[in-house]
Amino acid sequence: MKKLLMLGGAPSQVVAIRRAKEMGYYVITCDYLENNPGHTISDEYHNVSTVDKEGVLNLAKSLSVDGVVCYISDPGIPTAAYVAEKLGLPSSPYDSVKILSNKDLFRSYLQKHQFNVPQSKGYATLEEAKAEIHTFKLPVMIKPVDSSGSRGVSKIDSIDFLPEKIEEALRFSRAKRFIIEEYIEKKGYQIGGECFFVNGEIQFVRLVNNHFQSNSTDLTMPVGDSWPCNLPVFLQGKINSELQRLIKLLNMKTGPLIFEALIDSVGNVYIIDVGVRNSGDLTQIIKQMEGIDLIEYTIKAALNEDCSDLVNIEPKGYGAVYTIINEKEGLFKYLEIEEGLRRNNIVETSLINIHSGSKVEKNKYLGTVLLKFSSMTEMLDKMDNMKSNIKVFVEEETTVIN
């Protein structure tokens, strides 16, 4: 029986641990949180942090594992590549994964290889950034070099906000670095998606429309994806072509990739972000709606098993996933879902365990909703106006003075 080392046992990773067990493998999990639910499912657990490359390497050596997977967790992705490369196990090159896991390195790489890229530079301190901010045309984006899910990302059009937003970016950066890059005025939706490449060739790709929080103090908060992508076919082809060129240049082998891209007003493609992992929600929705199990292929790739039977298919129908987020700190009261949306569009609702009166933080994740629609027009209209159909009611916490 092949041994698979899976980095992490968080609730979001349980689905992959369970799938590996169903496929008949001996599953070993590790992280520094021994109470994570994934460890109750795996065959064996070890208390080693997923960002401790040497610690995980020593563990993998001692257990003679046949493959390493880090499902959807960005911090552990470089570790998985490092360990696999050191042990001669299937993986894309560690140096390539490291480039894709760091926005500072990634922007430099894109520029070196003549991809479209906004003016950008990485910094470690406010003082460094202030000395060069005059070289950028406002507005600019400020981003941690190594965060995911748009955490710590801000857009500013005045340098007065520079100290505050740099502090926020650094708070979300494990490396304590951030980048400043000029803002690209996109045409249409930002495009995201997930692909799977086999021997360096994209075998499957699903492009989606990214939807962001509107009328909020945090305009960069992603709240949903819808598909099929509404871009013209020739622009979708340009995105796929740029992704394929990047994969070839980096000598990537076999595995999953998530990405975000923009199209500017004249049709130029900008690859904004890339992650060497499955997406999570989209991965599972592709399986549920289209029957393609990308988790299974990710596991097979890590164990050097054949993935050549994966085929690209056109999206079936019109679907979306929406993330429910409350916008202010306080006491949770209730969630209200418009009856027509509930009856006609919602396929599945997955909510966290939260009760009336529970204290919730600003931008707290409350759950996800899987939806289906009858047309592109209905899908985009409802996704762009979802806040009027799914409402979170939170009241301010009152302080009692004796």
Query: For 84-104, what is each residue's pLDDT tens digit?
Result: 999 999 999 999 999 999 999
Asked if 192 and 210 touch (Cβ cutoff 8 Å), the reply is yes
Confidence of residue 325 (pLDDT cuts 50, 70, 90): confident
Whether pLDDT at 245 is above 90 = yes
Asked if 327 and 392 touch (Cβ cutoff 8 Å), the reply is yes
Confidence of residue 120 (pLDDT cuts 50, 70, 90): very high
Whether pLDDT at 363 is above 80 = no
Pairing of strands 318-326, 120-123: unpaired
Asked if 197 and 263 touch (Cβ cutoff 8 Å), the reply is no
Q: Give the mean pLDDT of 255-264.
A: 96
Closest CA to 272 of 314, 223, 225, 210: 210
Asked if 224 and 211 touch (Cβ cutoff 8 Å), the reply is yes
Q: Give the mean pLDDT of 36-61.
A: 98
What is the Cα–Cα distance from 86 to 78, expressed in whole angstroms? Answer: 12
Find all residues with CB under 8 Å of 182, minimum gap 6, and list them.
118, 119, 120, 136, 137, 139, 140, 141
Average pLDDT, the chain: 92
> Bridge partners of 210?
225
The DSSP string of 111-165 is HHTT-----EEEESSHHHHHHHGGGSPSSEEEEETT--TTTT-EEESSGGGHHHH
Whether pLDDT at 217 is above 60 = no
Q: Measured between alpha carbons, how far is residue 276 from residues 24, 38, 208, 255, 375 in Å?
A: 25, 21, 18, 8, 32
Per-residue pLDDT tens digits for 281-299: 889 889 988 899 999 999 9
Whether pLDDT at 182 is above 50 = yes
What is the Cα–Cα distance from 316 to 66, expressed in whole angstroms? Answer: 36
pLDDT of residue 149: 63
pLDDT of residue 216: 47
Confidence of residue 401 (pLDDT cuts 50, 70, 90): low
- pTM of the shown model: 0.90
What is the Cα–Cα distance from 309 to 203, expressed in whole angstroms? Answer: 9
Structure tokens at 106: 């990634």
pLDDT of residue 334: 87
